Every structure is written in C-alpha cells, then in structure tokens.
Amino acid sequence: MTAAPTDRPALWRATVLTLFPEMFPGPLGISLAGRALASDLWALDARDIRASATDRHRSVDDTPAGGRPGMVLRADILAAAIDAAAVAPDRPRLLMSPRGRPLTQSRVVELARGPGPLIVCGRFEGVDQRVIDARGLEEVSIGDYVLSGGEIAAIALIDACVRLLPGVMGKEASGAEESFSEGLLEYPQYTRPQLFEGVPIPEILTSGDHAKVAAWRRAQAEALTWARRPDLWTARPGQKAPKSTTDG
C-alpha cells in the first residue's frame, strides 16, 4: 500500500557514525537545536562504528600500511557500519576530515534543504582510502586545524544546518543568513546601556533613520570583510576596496 499524500516534508535527519556515540546529542540537545530536536523538527541517530567489529576485541583500527605511527580506521569495519545504517541513496555521505573541502554557508544551505546527511566521524590517523572511494564519502573540513576526531566537526555542521530548517528559527534571524550569503561578515551590534565604560552606542543607530542605519551597517560589514577576510572579499564579483576600512 502506498502512503497517503501529505504536504509535510520528510523529517531532516542526521545519521552519525562514530566511535563515541555518547558525544551525541551533546550540545545539539541544548538551546535552539535541542528544542527543535525535542519538538521533532529534526532527528538524530548516533551509531557506534564498533558495533560492526567482528573480532573478540572489537577492534576497529590497525597500523598504517607502509609504516609510521598511529592507527587507521579499517575499511571493512567502516563499510559494514555504513551499510548497516542503510541510509537512502539520495542522502549525502560525508566524512569529517581536516583534509576535506572547507565547509561553507552555501554547502550548509544545500545540506539543510536535502534529506539530511550520513556523517562519518574519523579518528586515529585517518580512514582507509578504499572505503572512502567505495562508499563515495565526501570529505568535509570545518577549518585548517586538527581536532582529535570528527565528532566536534559533525556537531558544528549539524548545528549550522538545523538552525536553517523550517520552524527552527524566527523570521528575524533568517534575514541574517542572506547577509552572510552575500559574502560579507556581519556588522557590529550594540544594545543597552547607552553608555558602556564611557563609550556610547554609535549615534546613527539611535537616529531612527532606517536608510542611514542600513548604509552604516553595510559600510561596516564591507570594511570588516575587507580587513579580516580578503579571501571572501575577492570572491565577490567586481570588488574594489570598501569606502571605509576598519581594524582587524
């Protein structure tokens, strides 16, 4: 029998393969993502890779072929763990790795629009290349530094996606996304008190002139991006230096 047609989209789901399932939901069980999880706006399965181990010691890793210290996650064990998760073929299969393509907001938006990824968390010195190739894993990095494993990177990626899911965030906040997707860093924010340690809120922000406020914010965003992220600045089409600059 086929399911009755429904307007409700399928639940966005993150399936995480890890040696440390107790690290989940972790921070994803708190605040915005945690409330959304409790309200069934998304779902999380954390699966233990070690459950696919076959020997008495439940070992999942071995020494790298060719020598060097450290341990490598075995292709057969990880492939069995991926296969056991039986995720639908349309779901992206990611491997968190410092060697991956850097995660961007536009990739986050894509992932949030889809059915939700399978995410493999690497540990040890790496993962046998054959399973990366055989299961078509897309390697994703969250920055040019090395974490002790992929779990914290997976949590960061999932958090970035979940806040974009329908119903998770208020309307005001989704506007902020647009400004980042324009490739600019966010302008500085202020709130009460009016005077903090002798420093007032910039006058323009309390002027009530919305056009001037918007222009000021835009100029600040441009100046910050120019100073701190020349890579983002030059990626924007036809960019010259901003009208004003600021310190990094």
Footprint on this chain of ligand ADE (rule: CB under 6 A): 96-98, 122, 141-143, 145-147, 150, 153
H or E element at residue 115: none
Residue 201 beta carbon to ligand ADE: minimum distance, rounded to whole angstroms = 37
C-beta closer to ligand ADE: residue 18 or 52: 18
Residue 96 beta carbon to ligand ADE: minimum distance, rounded to whole angstroms = 4
Q: How far is CA 111 from CA 2, 23, 77, 103, 135, in A?
A: 27, 22, 26, 11, 18
Contacts of 170 (CB under 8 A, 6+ apart): none
C-beta closer to ligand ADE: residue 111 or 184: 111
C-beta closer to ligand ADE: residue 158 or 168: 158
C-beta closer to ligand ADE: residue 68 or 240: 68
Closest C-alpha to 25, from 154, 167, 209, 205: 154
* The Cα angle at residue 68 between residues 62 and 69, in degrees rounded to 5: 65
In whole angstroms, give the CA distance from residue 227 to residue 233: 9
Q: How far is CA 234 from CA 5, 105, 228, 242, in A?
A: 47, 17, 12, 12
C-beta closer to ligand ADE: residue 36 or 94: 94
Neighbours of 189 (CB within 10 A): 8
Residue 141 beta carbon to ligand ADE: minimum distance, rounded to whole angstroms = 4
Residue 14 beta carbon to ligand ADE: minimum distance, rounded to whole angstroms = 15
C-beta closer to ligand ADE: residue 75 or 96: 96
Answer left, alpha or beta for residue 126, where phi above 0 means left and psi between -120 and 50 means alpha. Answer: left
DSSP code for 212: H
Residue 143 beta carbon to ligand ADE: minimum distance, rounded to whole angstroms = 5
Residue 200 beta carbon to ligand ADE: minimum distance, rounded to whole angstroms = 40
